[in-house]
Amino acid sequence: MATLKAIRKRIGSIRNTQQITKAMKMVSAAKLRRAQEAVVQARPYAEKMVDLFGNLSARVSREAHPLLGVREEKRTQLLLLTSDRGLCGGYNANLIRAAEAFIRREGSGKEIQLALIGRKGADHFRRRRAAISDRHVNILAIPPEELATEMAQKLIGRFIKDETDAVYILYSRFRSALSQVPTVEKLLPVAVSEGDSTEQLTEYLYEPSVEALLASLLPKVVEVAIYRALLEATASEHGARMTAMDSATTNASKMMGSLTLQMNRARQASITRELMEIVGTAEALK
């Protein structure tokens, strides 16, 4: 059995750790509220952007713009969003596992390059010598709209230059503080609405032309999709960290309760032993 001094030292260490995890939980909860508000505000805009493009794409062919062109996927780009820091449960592990499953599923006979946002994913695939085209860390210091614009320009440039045949994004979609779902979406080529050929479409007059609208709208569709994914990933990270720190705080309380019981038993055993020594000494002196 451990000594009283060792048990007291361990209880003190756990209590200090509990204070840290409790503080981290409160900080993550505050950040989660702001991140969740940003996600809720961004979703209608992104959905309206998709609806607008869907209405326009039903009237054009895939040859109308290079970002609509479908070709055989021999070179694929995967944009992976992870966090810079740990202590968020299985958040990063689930995303990395989903990325590795994507590579196994899509990588047979194909070339797959990774664009990594977040230190955890970047460090994981760097150690495994994967083909990495872009690597961004300290992402919380960069405004998400700036990062989305930068990544959209790079990915679109490579697609137009035929350096990649398809671009996918993998991020954690936020449902609640307890539920974050790794999600894969196709960014390029941009999906075209496949309407019923027999459906009578309402005719509109476009100013400027449809081609000019596509040239302006398509890069924005990709940028908004990345921006929304960044907001979803940020909210998911804070939700996962808040949940993990809450569990850690609860476990610390349970461990301190168990150690306190163990300490009391050890103290009682020590007192009993000392009393027996006193009684034994008194009997010996008779």
The residues annotated as belonging to the active site are: 88
Where do the H-state alpha helices sit in the chain?
Answer: 4-57, 91-106, 119-127, 144-160, 210-285
Q: H or E segment at 171? A: strand 166-176
193's tokens: 């609405």
Strand, helix or coil for residue 68: helix
Number of neighbouring beta carbons within 10 Å of residue 98:
18
Which residues, in sequence order, are bridge partners of residue 168?
78, 186
Number of neighbouring beta carbons within 10 Å of residue 211:
12
Please, are residues 60 and 214 in contact by the beta-carbon 8 Å criterion?
yes
Q: What amino acid is encoded at 257 in this protein?
A: G
Q: Which among 98, 95, 65, 50 is positioned nearest to 225, based on CA atoms?
A: 50
CA distance 156 to 67: 8
DSSP class of 286: -
Strand, helix or coil for residue 229: helix
Q: In what order do the strands lie in the sheet with 132-136?
A: 132-136, 111-117, 75-81, 166-176, 179-188
Number of neighbouring beta carbons within 10 Å of residue 112:
18
